[in-house]
Copies of this chain bind each other. A is one copy, B any other.
Amino acid sequence: MVYIKVVTDGSPYGEPRLSCMSVGFLLKKKGDSVVWRGPKKNAMIRQFLSDVRWGDLDYLVIDTPPGTSDEHLSLLEHLAPVHSRLSAVIVTTPQAVALIDAMKCLSFTRTVSLPVLGLIENMSGYVCPCCGEISNVFSTGGGEEMARREGLPFLGSMPVDTELVTLLDAAEVEPTSNESSDKSFELLQRYQKTSSANLFTAITQKLIQTLPGVEQSSSEANTR
C-alpha cells in the first residue's frame, strides 16, 4: 500500500491549499519510463480519481496530454456522473500548426458536449533580455484570433518568461524530500515576484468569472 500526500502551499487550517497527484510520484527514479497501453492508463486514471484522498475540493484541474485519445476518453467515462460540472480550457501556441491541433481539441470537446471556458495562448512573444524588444518568437495573435472566430472567451497570453524557466529548472535539481519543503515555499515566494505570476493570476480570475455561466446551465448546479 502506498500513501503519498502532496500539498504545495497553504495550511490545513482554513487557508487555501493546492494538492496534487502524478504518476511521477510513484516512480523510483525521475527518468524511469512508464510504458503503458491504454487500458493500464485507464486504470490509473480511475485510481487517481477515486483512491486519492482529495478531501473537499473547490476545483479539480486535470492537465491532459496532447491529443484526443485513451486518457481523454477514460476521463470522460469516469467523470460521467458529474459530466454537467465538467469544462475544458484549451491552451495553444500561436503557430498555424499548433492552432490546427487546438482546433482538433475544440472539435473533440464539441463532440463530447464539454463546455469550453476559453483559450490561452502560450509562448506568445519573448522579451529580449538584452534590448527589451518584445518579439514574436512563434508568429503572433493566432490564439486570440482563433478564440474570436470560434466564439470562445480569450483568457490571456503567456509570453516566454526566462525568469520562470530558470526558477523551475533550479527547483528540478533539488531533492523533493520532506526536508526541502521549506525550499519549496521559498520557490513559491520567488515565483510570486515573476511577471508570469501576475499573468497567471489574471487568467485564473477570468476563468473563475466564466464558471458561474457554465454552472447555471447545469441541472446539478444547486447541489454543489
Residues of A within 8 A of B (CB): 30-39, 41, 65-70, 72-73, 95-97, 100, 103-108, 111, 126, 128-131, 133, 135-139, 160, 162, 165-166, 168-169, 172-173
Name which residue of chain B comes closest to A173, CB basis. Answer: B96
| Complex alpha-carbon distance, A65 and B37, angstroms | 14
Q: Which of B34, B105, B107 contacts A68 (CB 8 A)?
A: B34
**Total identical chains:** 2
CB pairs A–B below 8 angstroms (20 shown): A31-B100, A31-B104, A31-B106, A32-B104, A33-B105, A34-B104, A35-B69, A35-B72, A37-B69, A38-B38, A38-B69, A66-B66, A95-B168, A96-B169, A97-B169, A100-B172, A128-B128, A129-B135, A136-B162, A137-B165
Q: Which of A32, A35, A173 has the most CB of B within 10 A?
A: A35
What residues of chain B lie closer than 8 Å to A169, measured between beta carbons?
A: 95-97, 139
Given A35-B108, A130-B135, verify A67-B65 contact (CB < 8 Å). Answer: yes
Structural contact, A37 and B96, CB atoms closer than 8 A = no
Q: Which of B72, B130, B165 contacts A128 (CB 8 A)?
A: B130
Structural contact, A36 and B69, CB atoms closer than 8 A = yes
What residues of chain B lie closer than 8 Å to A139, measured between beta carbons?
A: 162, 165-166, 169
